[in-house]
Structure 1
Amino acid sequence: MSTSNVERPARRGRPPQTQEQAEQVRARIVKATAEVFTRNGSRGSSVAQIIEEAGLSRPTFYRYFANATEPLNAVLDVSNAELVGGIGAALEAPGEGVDLGIRLIDAYLDWARGHGPMLRPLFAELHDPGSPVSAYRTIALDGIRAIVGTKFAESGRPVPAPLDLDAALHVCEYVVYRISAEVRPGREPDPETVAAARLTMIRVVLATLGNTDDVHYAMSLPGFFPAAASAGD
């Protein structure tokens, strides 16, 4: 009897993964990477820490990613998509002027709120050219500039000067960073602090991206600007 006719025994070992199982493992690694990044930042993250957090073996990790930066890029991809997509969706609704500025700020704050403690290392590395966060920030800013420019053009308003738009976005970054940096780990920002920060951001966006009609309208809204002191005060 030839050996070609002999039935070979089935190979032992781990059964093949389904696509759904593979996606679940990948998501587990990405989630663990976000946790490690939140604690240590990008420079303090390693494959060893990620696999410990995920409860997976090193060979399993390398089946999906080549190094610790790749799953961090996946985390940052989602973050950027949420930020740019959220602002785009907010500006899609009817309205213009002050209403647009308020919706932009609220979309930015919603994005920040969804990150929780991860905001701290995220903002700490925005201007670090050695961190992947810096490159993703540039991509996000380009996306926001394009969305805002398109919306202004559709509304018949002059497209903001690049420096004005960048100034507004940088101030929003700084204000949200201040909020996140002052919050103790495991705590939520104080609602009054967030409300005051929101007002600061709206005023700056109004001053840099608005026109005189926008300012006059905003001055008629309660709480946007402090009332002028009377002569007798």
Structure 2
Amino acid sequence: MTDGRHEPGRGGGVNSAGEGRVRLPRSERRAQLLRAAQDVFVSKGYHSTSMDDIAENAGVSKPVLYQHFTSKLELYLALLDGRAAELVGQVRDALQSTEDNKERVNRAMRAYFDFVDAQGEAFRLVFESDQRNDPEVSERVLKMEAECVQAMAETIMADTHVDKARAELLATGLLGNAEVSARKWIASGRAIPKDEAVQLMSTLAWRGISHFPRDDEA
């Protein structure tokens, strides 16, 4: 018989911080909290989410949550930084993985489709957040977009006579096409197989950009 309190070593016990008995290393706890926060932000939106919601979803007390993140915005920015770094990395890898420009366009297009496909609804944190007007959020999104454009623009400049300003405009058009079409594909419920969707959009993009000559073809 007990007096109803949890005893050490028994299931359901909690420590003095209100946290589950299993103490995770700080990095693992942080990753767990980020996953929990992403789920809530995606389902409820930034403004309708509270730190209580996130703590409950993570299965920790609010003090434990505040040990890792001092505010809801800090949590959101950490998530955004992670997702943005993933997309920039995928675009750069796509462009550096081949010297065939037609294939580069195809792989850059696929990078966006793979990103929104893998993220599920979480891609909205990057492209469609209800927090986009916040200066810190906007700054990060613009930085992400600029890094993707810069990677594409460098590739365009390397293979054509186009100057930096024109290369950046062309890159913006190509990557904007990739983003919008990938988001449309997700919104349609993946009505077209991803490989076919990528091929359709990369063919459209290539028929435009391929008219700009390589240095050795000018």
Secondary structure at the residue paired with 2:75? helix
If the length of structure 2 is used for normalisation, what is the TM-score? 0.75
Cα distance 1:85–1:165, how it changes in 2: closer, same or farther (>3 A)? same
Matching residue of 2:86? 82
Deviation at 1:20, TM superposition (A): 6.6
Shift of 1:30: 0.7
- Comparing 27-36 with 136-145, greater Cα deviation is found at 136-145
For the residue of structure 2 that corresponds to 1:125, the secondary structure is coil
1:136/1:193 CA distance change after superposition, 3 Å: farther
Structure 1 residue 48, shift from structure 2 partner: 1.2
Letter of the 1:175 counterpart? S
Cα deviation for residue 60 of structure 1 reads 0.7
Decide which structure has the larger Cα Rg and report it: 1
CA shift in 2, pair 1:57/1:134, >3 Å = same
**Which residue, 161, 165, 169 being the options, matches 2:167?**
161
* Amino acid paired to 1:143: E
Shift of residue 161 of structure 1? 3.3
Find out whether 1:22 has 2:26 as its counterpart: yes
Q: Could you tell me which runs of 5 or more consecutive residues in structure 1 were left unpaired when the two chains were aligned.
A: 1-12, 184-188, 215-233
The amino acid that maps onto 2:96 is: E
Following superposition of structure 1 onto structure 2, how do residues 173-192 of structure 1 map, counting pairs within 5 Å? Answer: 173-183=179-189, 189-190=190-191, 192=192
Deviation string, structure 1 residues 108-142 (Cα, Å, up to 9, x no partner) = 22222220122345432389424865433211111
The aligned counterpart of 1:123 is 127
Question: Which digits, 9 at most, give the CA deviation of each residue in 1:200-233, with x for residues without a partner?
Answer: 421343245332669xxxxxxxxxxxxxxxxxxx
The 1-side partners of 2:91 and 2:124 are apart by: 21
Aligned 1:16-95 pairs, distance under 5 A? 21-95=25-99
Structure 2 unaligned regions, length at least 5:
1-15, 18-22
Alignment length (residue pairs): 193
Tell me what 1:5 maps to.
Answer: none
Give TM-score, length-normalised by structure 1: 0.71
Question: 1:120/1:153 Cα in 2 relative to 1: closer, same or farther (>3 Å)?
Answer: closer
Q: How does 1:129-168 map to 2 (within 5 A)?
A: 129-130=133-134, 134-155=138-159, 158=162, 160-168=166-174
Q: Give % identity.
A: 22
CA contact (8 A) 1:84 1:143 kept: yes
Change (3 A) 1:22 1:111: same
TM superposition shift of 1:155 = 3.7
On the 8 A contact 1:126/1:134 being kept in 2, the answer is no
Change (3 A) 1:23 1:212: closer
TM-superposed CA distance for 1:193, in Å, is 4.4
Secondary structure, aligned partner of 2:99? coil
Distance in 2 (alpha carbons) for counterparts of 1:32 and 1:162: 37
> Counterpart of 1:100 in structure 2: which amino acid?
R
3-state SS, counterpart of residue 165 of structure 1: helix
Deviations 1:173-220 (A, max 9, x none): 21112122233xxxxx34x34344323421343245332669xxxxxx
Shift of 1:55: 0.7
Contact 2:115/2:123, CA 8 A, preserved across alignment: no
- After TM superposition, the structure 1 stretch with the greater mean CA deviation from structure 2, 62-71 or 120-129, is 120-129
The question of whether the paired residues in 2 share the 8 Å contact of 1:83 and 1:111 is answered with: yes
